[in-house]
């Protein structure tokens, strides 16, 4: 999943509900936490909960939304105004889920405890900084698994390979182990800001909604807030996502020499609109929270 393109914000709703359950001790999953508060915080317990919830949410959401992700990848990979094939929209799903599970678990297992720790350490008015930082750290930690998963997934989605084992074998034999990390720089350039901004917008909007409504948001309201956060962030990072896709699927052809060469070549040969293949990206971000 370009899981982020993982469906990480799904955990936000799970964590929010857990923190507001009468069966659980009070906690703050999205609101800023005052440095004066001395509520106990169990780091390992937060990691464990994050891993379980993140892995489950990532796998379920990825399986449901995989066809939309395939369409997005094919739209971004096709050159010019070429048409895309709408067959085989679940190509590579099984192999992708094998990578999504640990990657989502790592992301959320790092994000939640890091955020909670920072919220307790920083002044109350810097809650957004805690959320941005935790999102970036979580994204960096999970990238070691997310990038190879994304490379294999996108090449299968574009019809280059028939199975994940074949994809891994051929990529390594032709491009070396580094082939599994093709586009790593563009992935970090796109996904670290995406992770950080998406979660910050989501949690700040949720906090603002609760203050305005003077009550805890309902499940449907949490989903709507998440949809807006994902759509806004998806729109902001779409050009970087297009570059990432092109670098990951080019294989040994090496048409593009790097991030800037890729962006420049796309803009020169296909026009700047090719960097803004945005409809499917926004639609995917919205649907993942419904």
pLDDT tens-place string over residues 39-72 = 555 666 666 676 777 677 778 888 888 998 898 8
Instruction: Determine which helix (DSSP H) or strand (DSSP E) holds 190, and give its type and residue range.
Output: helix 184-213
The average confidence (pLDDT) of the chain is 79
C-alpha span between 108 and 43 (Å, rounded): 13
C-alpha span between 169 and 166 (Å, rounded): 5
Q: What's the rounded mean pLDDT across residues 86-100?
A: 89
Question: Which of 29-33, 104-108, 242-246 is most confident?
Answer: 242-246
Give how far the C-alpha of residue 240 lies from the chain's centroid of Cα atoms, to the nearest Å: 13
- What is the per-residue burial (b if ≥16 Cβ within 10 Å, else e) of 130-167? bbbbbbbbbbbbbbebbbbbbbbbbbbbbebbeebeeb
What pLDDT shows up at residue 65? Answer: 86
What pLDDT shows up at residue 4? Answer: 45
C-alpha span between 76 and 70 (Å, rounded): 10
Does the reported pTM lie above 0.75? Answer: no
């Amino acid at each position: 999943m370009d899981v982020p393109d993982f469906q990480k914000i799904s955990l936000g709703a799970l964590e929010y509900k857990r923190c507001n359950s009468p069966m659980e001790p009070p906690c703050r999953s999205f609101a800023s936490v005052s440095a004066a508060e001395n509520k106990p915080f169990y780091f390992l317990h937060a990691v464990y909960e994050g891993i379980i919830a993140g892995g489950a949410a990532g796998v379920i959401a990825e399986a449901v939304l995989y066809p939309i992700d395939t369409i997005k990848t094919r739209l971004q990979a096709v050159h010019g105004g070429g048409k895309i094939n709408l067959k085989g929209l679940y190509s590579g799903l099984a192999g992708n889920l094998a990578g999504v599970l640990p990657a989502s678990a790592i992301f959320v297992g790092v994000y939640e405890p890091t955020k909670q720790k920072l919220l307790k350490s920083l002044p109350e008015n810097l809650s957004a900084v805690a959320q941005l930082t935790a999102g970036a750290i979580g994204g960096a930690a999970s990238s070691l698994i997310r990038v190879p998963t994304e490379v294999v997934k996108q090449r299968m989605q574009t019809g280059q390979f028939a199975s994940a084992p074949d994809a891994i074998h051929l990529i390594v034999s032709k491009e070396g182990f580094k082939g599994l990390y093709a586009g790593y720089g563009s992935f970090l350039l796109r996904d670290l800001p995406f992770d950080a901004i998406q979660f910050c917008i989501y949690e700040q909007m949720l906090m603002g909604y609760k203050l305005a409504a003077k009550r805890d948001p309902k499940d449907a309201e949490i989903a709507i807030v998440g949809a807006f956060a994902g759509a806004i962030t998806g729109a902001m990072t779409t050009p970087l996502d297009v570059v990432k896709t092109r670098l990951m699927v080019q294989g040994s052809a090496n048409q593009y020499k790097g991030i800037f060469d890729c962006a420049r070549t796309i803009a020169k040969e296909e026009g700047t609109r090719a960097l803004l293949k945005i409809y499917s990206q926004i639609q995917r971000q919205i649907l993942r929270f419904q």
